[in-house]
Structure 1
Amino acid sequence: MEDVTRVVKDIVRTVVPYLEDARVKVNGACDQVEGWQVIAYTFGFTLILISLYNFIFDEEKSLKERIKKRFFKFVKKLPIIKDQIAKEIDKNAKGVEEGFQKGVGKMKYMHKLPDKGWTEKKIMDELDRYHSLVKVDWTKGTVSGAVYSGDDKLTDILVEAYRKFAWTNPLHPDLFPDIRKMEAEVVRMCCNMFNGDDKSCGSVTSGGTESILLACLAYRNRARENGIKFPEMIVPVTVHAAFDKAAEFFHMKITHIPVDPVTCKVDIRKMKRAINGSTCMLVGSAPQFPHGSIDPIEEIAALGRKYSIPVHTDCCLGGFLVPFMEKAGFSVPKVDFRVPGVTSISADTHKYGFAPKGSSVILYSDKEYRKYQFFVQPDWP
């Protein structure tokens, strides 16, 4: 103990002269500076340090992304570059406009309401004219990603069903218990289809994008409640762009993980290395849109269990195909609630569920996750 004390004293005796010398020099430099200037310089320097710190250590975007963004933002403001970009944008915008206009032909656009209301015949005749603009025969099933059925019998059923409930309003379930019951049944049927237990639950949404947004919102809110300022989602690079939209909307960080060049499935080892204290969700697709591969959901879910992170299966594309593959005699990996660790699933009823656009479901393994997707404003007058 005495040796330690002696060492400390020696260090103090060595450092003190330098500190005293620094004090004298600083005071000498400030002889001609007034007090208000010292305060102003200190305040300004502190602001600069804080701004620099926030730029370097911003949690929402990586330093590399922000430097790249700032660089291109600066370059685009240079006069010669700015003019060239404007010309290219105008040229491309004109090309897009001309391309769309070809589909309309010489048919004029309406710019204002008609002076006199149209008759039913006039409306139907005009709708027939609009309908005649479609030149692609999508009923043959060759426009993947746009239309998933064109069966006449199914169309008749959809039209008749819509006619019966065209004026209902799901915002008022007390007035319309019929559609509230339908939503509850659709959610429960989908939960059972994905092998959810009695705790599983969900909501009907307006499409796959909203289902994905709600899942991301729920996990962001859950993470914030646990003290994470900028929650981060870790996703395959092939994941649907709605996850990038969610990150932009909800101020989340999104980290894209490369896929195996042969299988096109997400690289599990790289996903594991990306996990950190701010990770609020892991994502896998079943299947993903670019190549049709199903990510290794069981391995992703194992990571979720190990690190206590929710795992979302994006089944928007295959939602009403994948659950029936085993019964149809095909060998497919497990991607649903049978996999321990899978906490939510998005699936589009308007794809191979054959509901009309737009309709989807977001499902959760437990209401403890779903509660975070809801917004409540109790103080509205």
Structure 2
Amino acid sequence: MKTGIYIHIPFCKSRCIYCGFYSSTLFGLQHDYAAALIKEMHMRSSEFKELGCIDNTNMVDTIYIGGGTPSTIPLSDIQEILNTVSECFPGNPREVTIEVNPDDITPEFVNRLRSIGINRISMGIQTFDDSRLQFLHRRHTSSQAIDAVRIIKDAGIENISIDLIFGFPNQTLDEWESDVQTAVSLAPTHISAYSLMYEEGTTLYRMMSEGKITQIDDETSLAMYKYLMDALKAAGYEHYEISNFAKPGYRSIHNSSYWHNVPYLGIGASAHSYNIGTRSWNIADIRQYIKAINNGMLPSESETIDATTHYNDLVTTALRTSDGMNLDSISPTFRQYALQCADIHIKNGLLKHTDNRLQLTREGLFVSDMIMSDLIKI
């Protein structure tokens, strides 16, 4: 069995108001953190046997360097991290992704990325409206984002994913249509688009709680999602996961592993790992992470995944995808339960049952959370 490696780089020059992920502005710890990542990989190199990777010469299928903002750390550190992955987890990965910010992109930077083995870039653009970029506390401008896509292509990296956000306070459907059309004109191979989320603990959530901003209404948000689906389909993208669209042959292999029950290792502060039977996560504190690793300890917690948890995980991951949930992959007892709960949604045209798979229909995508909740076993 092949698997993926996720490496978390939690550093950001500034924090976006909507972000609920673990990140830090402690740039003085970058070198020590990179050294700790390398030590953790050496400490965990034997874990691949537990993931079923018997062939020690061909383990890794994907590498994903995420954050935070990985493009803010020295390229020499990124190169050493990738060298250590090759040393500790041999393989010939098909996909090596790094997340970047548009304002970090220069021809020299991208050429270096390509030279050290990066073949896919994921870029957080979010919107092409400069006023909304400022509202989010993003560092880049719309023109920088557009230039960045062109620079990456000119450097010879064609596999480019961009992130978009819709549903800003007071955003109109026409404004969202403009964002989508600008994205389509750039022709990235992959587009991820998410409704703006108000996560508790974020600045955005506090602004809403204090009455400074108001969430967009559900009807407008739904219209934006429908437009997104139709526009990207017309532009040749396949809608392969609720929030993800790809040109044929350019689905995210790494992220697809999360949705299709493939084991993976997470390296770094707050990173998660999964090996079918257990799930583990590292401490979300850079200083404590570095200290523990330097003392030869893995600063992580774990939980055992029982049969019910495994079934529920499949409901909330595989059902998100166009491939759907493979009923052959679960026991007869859970299969019967899933079909019993799905029956009403199949009759209402929200789910379809074909080739022993449950899949969301187009109408089902709009109420996916409700459907998944109904199929979960308490």
TM-score normalised according to structure 1 size? 0.28
Report the structure number with the largest CA radius of gyration: 1
Specify which structure has the higher proportion of helix. Answer: 1
